[in-house]
């Protein structure tokens, strides 16, 4: 029986939930990418500053994480949008009733 599969992927709410989950995952990926990029830029500094300490580094990392999350939410780079476009098309094809059930009966 494919009743469970039909109710989660064939219904409009299932498609909306899948899209929301995909959008959230894409934004989180963009945030992680931005955090890594900012961390790499920070580590490329040539000299130590007068106020550099482990506490300042920790607060700077926290500020970078917040900035990355904010940039990802706003879609600054467009990575999340690109992922939504790429994986959203595959998701909609897999979720359509014609693609999952076919006319075999």
With respect to residue 16, please indicate whether it lies within any of the assigned structural domains. no
Q: What is the per-residue pLDDT for 8?
A: 43
Q: Is 79 among the domain residues?
A: yes
pLDDT (tens digit per residue) in 39-88: 888 887 766 667 778 888 889 899 999 999 999 988 878 888 898 888 87
Give me the number of domains the chain comprises. 1
Instruction: Please give the distance of CA 48 from its chain centroid, rounded to a whole number.
Output: 34
Q: Which domain holds residue 78?
A: 24-43+50-94
Share of the chain above pLDDT 70, in %: 66
Residue 29 has pLDDT above 80, yes or no: yes
**Does residue 47 come out as left (phi exceeding 0), alpha (psi in the -120 to 50 range) or beta?**
beta
27-31, 71-75, 89-93: which is most confident = 27-31
Burial class (CB in 10 A: 0-12, 13-18, 19+), 103: exposed
């Amino acid at each position: 029986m494919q009743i469970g599969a039909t109710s989660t992927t064939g219904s409009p709410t299932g498609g909306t939930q899948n899209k929301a989950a995909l959008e959230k995952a894409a934004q989180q990926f963009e945030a992680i990418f931005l955090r890594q990029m900012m961390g790499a830029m920070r580590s490329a500094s040539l000299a130590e500053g007068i106020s550099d300490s482990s506490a300042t580094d920790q607060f700077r990392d926290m500020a970078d994480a917040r900035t990355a999350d904010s940039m990802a939410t706003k879609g600054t780079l467009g990575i999340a949008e690109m992922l939504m476009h790429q994986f959203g098309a595959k998701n909609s094809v897999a979720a359509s009733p014609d693609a999952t059930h076919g006319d075999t009966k």
